[in-house]
Amino acid sequence: MSRANNLISLFGEEHSNALVQYKLARPIANKIRELRNMFSKEQLDPNENEGQSLDPHVTIFYGLQDEDLSDVKECLKNFGTAGFTIKAQPKIFDNPKHDVLILPIESSCFKQMNKHIRNWCGKEPPTFREYIPHCTILYLKKGTPYNHVSLPEDYQGTTDIVEFYDTNDNPHKIQLR
């Protein structure tokens, strides 16, 4: 079961799905790891230990099966370079059990990729029907203050590679052009 599936299972949802994601480049990924370290263990959701070890990433589409890899590669092969902006100010995705601290991402490209995969493969994600690009920082206990956390500034980037993670967490690079 993939690390995303493991984390979702920790929070009470059973899934066995593959996903497409963009793993953030090392400089910005390291800044996000620093944000994670600004919280004490007492502030984290009790099941958060696994989430802290995940590489910072943007999930583009969740809810695929291993056999969808060739379809996704075909679907995205001429997509081109994807641009994005990671916003400096975190937000909370509210959840009944915990607060999900995220960095919002502005990217019409990631939204288009999500929609394109959905249409091409005919798949509906099992959760989060509306796609909102973001990078999860941590799962926090409900009501934990987070105003002391932010990036120094918005971060702009591009990529021409995303990865398909199969249900065994094996990455498969997909060139977007």
Q: Report the domain count for the chain.
A: 1
- Residues of the domain holding 107: 3-175
pLDDT in tens, 84-121: 999 999 999 978 889 999 999 999 999 999 999 999 99
Question: Considering the chain, what percentage of its residues have pLDDT values greater than 70?
Answer: 88
At 39, which CATH number? 3.90.1140.10
- Helices first, then strands: H and E counts in the chain: 5, 9
Mean pLDDT of the chain: 88
In angstroms, the CA 10 to CA 48 distance is: 9
Indicate whether 7 pLDDT > 80: no
More confident residue, 104 or 8: 104
pLDDT at res. 36: 94
- Say what the pLDDT of residue 10 is: 40
| pLDDT, tens digit (0-9, with 9 covering 90-100), for 120-149 | 999 888 776 789 999 999 999 999 999 999
More confident residue, 28 or 47: 28
